[in-house]
Amino acid sequence: MTTQTQLKVRLSDHGSTLMAFLAAHLQLSNHKAKALLDARRVFVNGQRVWMARHRLDPGDHVEIQEGWVAGPVVSRDVVLYAKGDYLIANKPPGLLANGPQSLESGLRRLLGNPALTAVHRLDRDTSGCLLFAQKSEAEALIKPLFVQHRIRKMYHAIVSGHVSEREQEITHPIDHRSARTLVRTLDANRLASHLWIELETGRTHQIRRHLVAIGHPLLGDQQYATRREVSSQERAVRRQMLHAYELAFRHPVTSEPVHARAPLPEDFAACLRKFGLT
C-alpha cells in the first residue's frame, strides 16, 4: 500500500537540509530519513530529489511516497517455456533477476534445480521474459548468441509525453559504445505514449537511457527521469513502466526455435488505462 505525505517548508525551516527536514517532520532517525531519499520517493516542488544535503527554502512543497509492495511469491505460473536446456520465466516487477531472494533463487527451490542460472538481466522494476539455462553447459552455449545479437528481445514501454514519430531508430552511444534501439509508437497523447521497442544491442540500461535521450523517459523511472518537474499523475506510478514482452532465438545446438511471450502485467495495463492509452 502506498501513501503520500505532503509537507510545506515554513520560515522556521529555512536553510534546513532535506534529510534534516524529513527527520524532524516525520519523526524519523537520520538513517531512516536517508533511506527514504535513497529509495527516491521524495519530491521537492514536483521534482524527484535524493540528495540529503539539498537546501530547502520557505514555500517549498515536499512530497513523500511511503509504503512498500511486498515481494511477489515465485510459483510455477511464472514459467512460460521449459524444454530441454532452457527455461523462460515471466519475471514479476519488484523481484531481482538473480541473487538472494530473486526469481533465480525462487525457481531453483521450486524446481529442485540448483544449477538453474539467469543468463541475462532485467532490472528489479522491469517485468517480463527472462531466460534461464538449466545447466552450466547450456549457459556457455547461449552467451555467444547475446554477443552476436541473435536473440530477439521486444518490450512494451509507457513513456512521458507525446511521441509523434510512428517509427524511429535511436543510435546514441552508451558508455562510448554503439547502441541501437528500434521504437514504434502504438498510441500517444499529450500526457504519455505507449511504445513497442526492440533492442538491437544490449548496453546497460539501454532502453531507459535512449528514451531519456529523445526526451521521453519511462514513467516511474527513478534513476534517469530526473531534473524535470513530474506531475502528480506521474508521481503515483510505482515502478518504471517497462515490460519484456517477447524473447526468441534458435537453440544453439539443435536450431529449434525457442520463443515466449509474457502478457502485460496488471499494473502496466492499469497504467495504460490511467493515461488513456491502448
Spatial distance between the Cα atoms of 5 and 150, rounded to a whole number of angstroms: 47
| Active site members | 123
17: DSSP letter: B
Sequence letter at residue 64: I
Number of residues that make up the chain:
278
Report the SS3 class of residue 1: coil
In whole angstroms, how far apart are CA 129 and each of 28, 52, 126, 168, 208?
A: 39, 36, 10, 24, 17
The three cell numbers locating residue 236: 503515483
246, β-bridge pairs? 154, 261
* Start-end of H helices in the chain: 18-26, 30-38, 103-111, 136-147, 206-213, 232-235, 266-274
